[in-house]
Structure 1
């Protein structure tokens, strides 16, 4: 007998009709794997609609509204089944750290390739270990638990899988975060297609979602010219769950 998996139900929250239309077309083109279950143009409507629809993944944009967006993110993520992805333009001022603290599972750049956006939806939907990252500022006393040493070992093991070419690409991205992939490819003497392939491998090896996730990770762990990692900015929350997982 053929079994049919339920589609990933995605809800969109944005005040811009063109953004909503573009995301809807992108996501619905992947039916039956995923589909848009609803849209909201105000935060009040978003909270009511999410309560009715119970979507799996919510694309959330920051925009002027009567409600505080961070409080809305916190409200939406009280249910573990609803996972928020913040949609951010490269030059938009969005409180990324606070959004993660409030419960968002990741940040998606509007300028990312469509495949990266689709993959972000799939990735967060299948993560069921709670928030993947939280900013250290909201975790007072966490370093006293003894898990920091475990975190370092896990991260070192993941980073050891990176090739020299992948590390070179990471340095290029961190050196110019706003550079287009074509420009990066030209500087490295490779094709744009090869850049995308390397990035896909990097995301998989480091358990990241997209380019902004990689940027924060690289700065945190000092993946630039073998520099010493800077002071901790965020720490993993699901270390215990990962101790027995093969990296």
Structure 2
């Protein structure tokens, strides 16, 4: 009989009791796959607790504190076994590019569906450290120069899977990052449910986790140009057909 896999041990850092409670309930509801092993409401306590517990994943939020949050991220990310995920609200200003450069492994949007947050924990826990460092380096360069197109066969193969409608949705999201899904749906003439379906397909094809990941990826890889000419395929035709059926 195969041995049961150990749960992913998650530590939470946030000064807001309601946020801590919500994350605690969400993560512990996924036992035995993952569980909360500790919570900290100050950065000093977070550093001490991380040393004591050696968690697998740390949810990190930016908030006013005596310690510099970026220095705290550097300290938390020193352990190769611990992966730092930054939790950010859609309208919160946070130095996410610097956080990735200093060792954070990803960004989770607080407004994302709960299942997306759970998947972010799983993916960042399993992801190879070499791939993370390469991605962090690319994001660091992007933050410094504004835009760095990546000429990579792997990325081109992933992007070739995108349908015309999916590319249109990506441009709409990048054009107005703070827009609600309903607003995007009205602009594109589709339902909000269809927007979510397209986004799910986009995340799967590009190996992304959430909307913040998509924004960074699209800007970095030039998916915002209106003159994109994706290859024709049965997938594109199926997508167009399904849209026409809904609008008749």
TM-score by length of 1: 0.82
Structure with the larger helix share: 2
Listed as ranges, the matches of 1:166-245 within 5 Å are 166-226=166-226
How large is the Cα RMSD of the aligned pairs? 2.1
Contact 2:85 2:104 in 1 (8 A): yes
Indicate how the Cα distance of structure 1 residues 30 and 137 shifts in structure 2: closer, same or farther if over 3 A, else same: closer
Aligned counterpart, 1:66: 66
Asked if 2 retains the 8 angstrom alpha-carbon contact of 1:9 and 1:57, the reply is: yes
> What is the TM-score of this pair, normalised by structure 2?
0.82
Larger radius of gyration: 2
Task: Tell me the residue number matched to 1:121.
Answer: 121
**Cα distance, 1:204 vs structure 2:** 2.0
Equivalent residue number for residue 48 of structure 1:
48
- For the residues of structure 1 that align with 2:110 and 2:123, how far apart are their CA atoms? 17
Q: State the 1:71 CA deviation.
A: 1.1
1:179 positional shift: 1.5
Whether the 8 Å CA contact 1:97–1:135 is kept in 2: the answer is no
Residues 40 and 128 from structure 1, CA distance in 2 versus in 1: closer, same or farther, beyond 3 angstroms? same
- Structure 1 stretches of at least 4 aligned residues deviating more than 3 Å after TM superposition: 135-139, 148-151, 225-228
Equivalent residue for 1:134, pick from 129, 133, 136 = 136
* Corresponding residue number in structure 2 for 1:234: none
Question: Structure 1 residues 27 and 187 mapped into 2: Cα distance closer, same or farther (>3 Å)?
Answer: same
Conservation of the 8 A alpha-carbon contact between 1:77 and 1:104: yes
- Partner residue, 1:11: 11
Cα distance between partner residues in 2 of 1:24 and 1:138? 31
Aligned-partner Cα distance in 2 for 1:181–1:117: 18
CA-to-aligned-CA distance 1:197-228 (integer Å, 9 cap, x gap)? 22122112212221011011111222123459
